[in-house]
Amino acid sequence: MKNNPRKLLVTGGAGYVGSVVGAHLLAAGHQVTVLDDLSTGFREGVPDGADFVEGRVQDAAKVLDGSYDAVLHFAASSQVGESVADPAKYWHNNVGGTLELLDAMRESGVGTLVFSSTAATYGEPASIPITEDAVTAPTNPYGATKLAVDHMISGECAAHGLAAVSLRYFNVAGAYGAYGERHQPESHLIPLVLQVAQGRRDAIAVFGDDYPTPDGTCLRDYIHVADLAEAHLLALDRATAGEHLICNLGNGSGFSVREVIDTVRRVTGHPIPETARPRRAGDPAALVASAQRAHDRLGWRPTRTDLTDIVRDAWTFAQSLGEDAR
C-alpha cells in the first residue's frame, strides 16, 4: 500500500473510527484530507499529517476535485435512540448528505468509495452468525438510513461504474494510541462500564438477565478498532469499478454483557456495581457476524480478538482524557 499512495478524502475523520482509519492511511503513505463539522468529532481527533476542512459532508463538492483518488465516508448521525426520537435528522444527514457526496464524486470524477455501514441494517436476525445474505430488516431509523445508503451506492455502481465497498461493523471497541471512543451521550457498553471505573457513573445497568445465552445476558460481537481500520485499507485496494461489495466486520464470536463487565473489573481493579433492569424492546439475544466474505474478498482477518486486550486499550485511552473526558 505504501507503493501506491493515493489522495483521499475522509468524511467524519475527526470521529472515533474515522480518526483511527485516518491514522492508518497516513502510516501507509496516503495523503489525507479530513472533512468534519466537529458536531460529534474532536479537532484533536484529526490525525497529525492530515489536512483538515471544517464542514459537513454536504460540503464535499467544495473540497473534491480531479486530484482525489477515493473517498472514505464515515460522517453520519449514529445514535439509535436519537434516530427514533428525531428520524428526520437521520434522513437528512445520513441519506441526504451521502446523496450530495455521491453527486460531488461523480461530478469531480472520483470513482472509489469505502462506506462505513453497520450491522443495524440486519435488525433482529433469524439466525447467527449473520452473513451478508441475511434479510435486512432494520428496527430503527439509524439502521434504515444506513441501509438506504447501501441501496443508493448499489445504484451508483450499476449506473456510473463506481467502485464501492460497504463495511458493516458489529460492535467496535478499543483504541489506537491517541485515538479512541468519545461519544456524547455515550451508549456503548465498554466505555459505559469504564465510566463506572472512573467514578463518573455509580453503576452499570444490565438490561435483561434471562436471555437464552450461557449467562442470561446479551451476546455481542466486539471488534478492535485497529482491526477495523485495516479492513478499510484493504477495501480501498480491492474496490472494483461497477461493483458494490458488502462485507461484515466482526470477530465471529460473541461476548456477553456480563463477560464485558467482568473483564473491565479485572483490567481496572474496580468492583463495577451492577443494577438489574428489564430487557429493552428490540434487543436481540445475540448478534454475531460471519466475516468470511471479508476474508475471502479482502484478505482480512481480525488479530486483536482477546476481550482483555480490547478493554485494556479502551481503558488506557479513557484514562488519558483525564478532566477532558465527556
Q: What is the per-residue pLDDT across 162-186, written as a single tens digit (0 to 9) for each?
A: 999 999 999 999 999 999 998 777 8
**pTM of this structure:** 0.95
Asked whether residue 26 is domain-assigned, the answer is yes
Q: What pLDDT score was predicted for residue 284?
A: 85
Which range is most confident: 42-51, 184-193, 317-326? 42-51
Q: What pLDDT score was predicted for residue 224?
A: 98
Kindly state whether residues 234 and 210 are assigned to the same domain: no
Active site residues: 142
pLDDT band with cut points at 50, 70 and 90 for residue 187: confident
Beta strands 7-11; 70-73: pairing state = parallel
Q: What pLDDT score was predicted for residue 323?
A: 53
Q: What is the pLDDT of residues 91-104, one digit of tens each?
A: 999 999 999 999 99
Q: What pLDDT score was predicted for residue 3?
A: 54
The total number of residues written for the chain in this structure: 326
Asked whether residue 294 is domain-assigned, the answer is yes
Average pLDDT for residues 123-148, to the nearest whole number? 94
CA 314 to mean position of chain CA atoms = 15
Kindly state whether residues 160 and 54 are assigned to the same domain: yes
Q: What is the pLDDT of residues 198-237, one digit of tens each?
A: 999 999 999 999 999 999 999 999 999 999 999 999 999 9
Kindly state whether residues 137 and 201 are assigned to the same domain: no
Kindly state the percentage of the chain with pLDDT values over 70: 98
Asked whether residue 312 is domain-assigned, the answer is no
Kindly state whether residues 298 and 231 are assigned to the same domain: yes
Q: Measure the CA–CA gap between 247 and 118, rounded to whole angstroms.
A: 10
CATH number for the domain including 226?
Answer: 3.40.50.720
Kindly state whether residues 105 and 184 are assigned to the same domain: no
Q: Measure the CA–CA gap between 227 and 251, rounded to whole angstroms.
A: 10
Total tally of structural domains belonging to the chain: 2
Q: Measure the CA–CA gap between 216 and 11, rounded to whole angstroms.
A: 39
Q: What pLDDT score was predicted for residue 1?
A: 42
Domain with 41 in it:
7-174+222-250+288-302
160 and 145 in contact (C-beta within 8 Å)? no
Grid look-up 485516518 returns 22
Q: Measure the CA–CA gap between 83 and 118, rounded to whole angstroms.
A: 14
Average pLDDT for residues 112-118, to the nearest whole number? 98
